[in-house]
Chains A and B, each alone.
Chain A
């Protein structure tokens, strides 16, 4: 095992130990220890859920490019990216499960009394479909199974994936009382955000896992540069959509929408938008992709910056929407911390997040070291 991998493994174990206290509190006291409440019903965990949702799109991007659009050069990444999606789905599922008020009931109530008018039901259906598709795909790619089946799965995963990422956007977009979310742009924004963050993760991994592997170094370098080009345009598209969102919002001058946009740009967590998202997660990576797009190390670094700062995008999507009271005056009508729009994640939320992310990291590292996701490069075998 390389020193870097050993370090990540130890860090993930420490993360699990440290985060265990948060998990203990969560399991023993339910949602009582969290900082969110009734007027900010979703907080850090939903932001992380959305982050991992996006990261899982990396595999979707790679397998679609390879098997649907025929970019054979990326084929070496297919097993790794398919496995990454499984780990992302694990983290995503844990985040949303622990965010529920009654976790145990979720395991059977969806089957006993599902409501198909709710997009949350469809999200679960599509989440399960993605899980099955990518578990099969990982198995086939790692075992060098039938290429035709892998190709078929990739074709199936294209509409399923687009629906999955789009539905997650629509989940928010249909809420007519939420000025920022209630836009037909939201599902599109989600698809682009997912492809951008997921693509960035795969770009970073392609460089990290192939850089010292002899002959595969050239492959890793080439794929990293190729993906860097895709990332560049996705980042520009994403920023353009954000500009549209802000400019249309401000020009429309709807008071609630302007209040939400002001909260993002100049609220108590303004730095999340300006410094973490815009500077570190967008402008610096964009400059690196533009000016050093042929240097795989810098492309990988740009991708890494996009990935680790993307939670800021998700946080700024979820939390500011709740900064405005549904009715003016509710803030002083019945005073309690759970009935406030002032929110910042507390230690418990961070510890649980550390626990889940560390678990995901551990699963990923163990998988990479035990399952041959890096050595199999033919993306399945053709029929003879």
Chain B
């Protein structure tokens, strides 16, 4: 049966693209993301999906959505710019790490080894996009009252979210505590590599209500993401710094 691109949900296409990529040569994969700013409604579902997926504590965010308002009333334009890690092909954060705790993996994703990071925050200073945040050991349930009610009690809230180990980088991190990693470490968006290896698209992609975020193998000319990367509307953030981001925006 032939495809009907006009009616096919991009998620279905991207899922097929992902399956194809994972079934082939891993070296032929270069993950890329395209964000269509004309479609982004600024709902921040991606931000929240990312927070929930990676069990992010307060003050740590991988994908905030920046709002820009331009023009003068009545000719006003409101633009929303989701800002994941740009997964730069020439990442300034990697070369400054003194202990090789961060590097680009084979598929072009900049990853962090929480068990190596010493928390010097040099990478935070080096990132031109502010895409790295440090885990200062904050808790959403800190100083909240311990109530008996099972729905709102602190212990219940903590056990259903805060104490659940994140699955980042395909590892089961031990229960987050005051001392153990990733507390004290630099943290960043990693295109949900733990989901990709399981054949799932990143949380921000599947949660996007406007289908504004596209993801796939940038090297696969048949993929949706590769198709969009060739659009004349494509723009990359702060390209003048020579970072060569793998996140493309459709303006």
Contact indicator A325/B130 (Cβ below 8 Å): yes
Given contacts A102-B181, A334-B47, whether A117 and B59 have CB atoms under 8 Å apart is no
21 contacts between A and B (CB under 8 A): A29-B178, A30-B136, A34-B136, A37-B134, A41-B125, A100-B184, A101-B119, A101-B120, A101-B134, A101-B184, A102-B119, A102-B184, A176-B128, A177-B92, A177-B241, A326-B128, A326-B129, A327-B130, A330-B130, A333-B64, A339-B133
- Segment 57-89 of B: residues with Cβ below 8 Å from A: 58-61, 64-68, 81, 83
CA distance A110 to B99 in the complex (A): 6
B153 to chain A, nearest CB (A): 23
Chain A contact surface mostly: loop
CA distance A246 to B5 in the complex (A): 57
CA distance A336 to B61 in the complex (A): 10
Contact indicator A120/B98 (Cβ below 8 Å): yes
Given contacts A102-B117, A334-B47, whether A30 and B183 have CB atoms under 8 Å apart is yes
Contact indicator A32/B125 (Cβ below 8 Å): no
- Segment 89-110 of A: residues with Cβ below 8 Å from B: 99-102, 105-106, 109-110
Given contacts A41-B121, A120-B120, A176-B241, whether A330 and B83 have CB atoms under 8 Å apart is yes
Contact indicator B130/A102 (Cβ below 8 Å): no
Given contacts A109-B99, A330-B64, A339-B59, whether A175 and B178 have CB atoms under 8 Å apart is no
Contacts of B127 in A (CB 8 A): 177, 326
Contact indicator A338/B136 (Cβ below 8 Å): yes
Contact indicator A30/B179 (Cβ below 8 Å): yes
Whether B108 sits at the interface, judged by CB under 8 Å, is no
Using A37-B136, A101-B185, A325-B130 as known contacts, list a sample of 10 further A-B pairs with CB atoms less than 8 Å apart, ordered by residue number in A. A113-B100, A117-B95, A118-B95, A118-B96, A322-B125, A327-B66, A327-B81, A329-B81, A333-B66, A338-B136
Contact indicator A334/B130 (Cβ below 8 Å): no
- Segment 173-196 of B: residues with Cβ below 8 Å from A: 178-179, 181, 183-186
Interface residues of A (CB under 8 A from B): 28-32, 34, 37-39, 41-42, 99-102, 105-106, 109-110, 112-115, 117-121, 124, 174-178, 322, 325-330, 332-334, 336-339
CA distance A88 to B193 in the complex (A): 45
What are the 10 A-B residue pairs with the smallest beta carbon separation, nearest first? A101-B119, A101-B184, A338-B59, A326-B130, A333-B64, A177-B128, A329-B66, A120-B98, A41-B121, A334-B64
Chain B contact surface mostly: loop
Q: Number of B interface residues at 8 Å Cβ cutoff, please give it.
A: 52
Q: Which of A100, A333, A339 contacts B67 (CB 8 A)?
A: A333
Contact indicator B125/A178 (Cβ below 8 Å): yes
Contact indicator A32/B138 (Cβ below 8 Å): yes
CA distance A114 to B68 in the complex (A): 41
Contacts of A177 in B (CB 8 A): 92, 126-128, 238, 241
Q: Which of B65, B96, B119, B241 contacts A120 (CB 8 A)?
A: B96
Contact indicator A32/B178 (Cβ below 8 Å): yes
Contacts of B98 in A (CB 8 A): 110, 114-115, 118, 120-121, 124
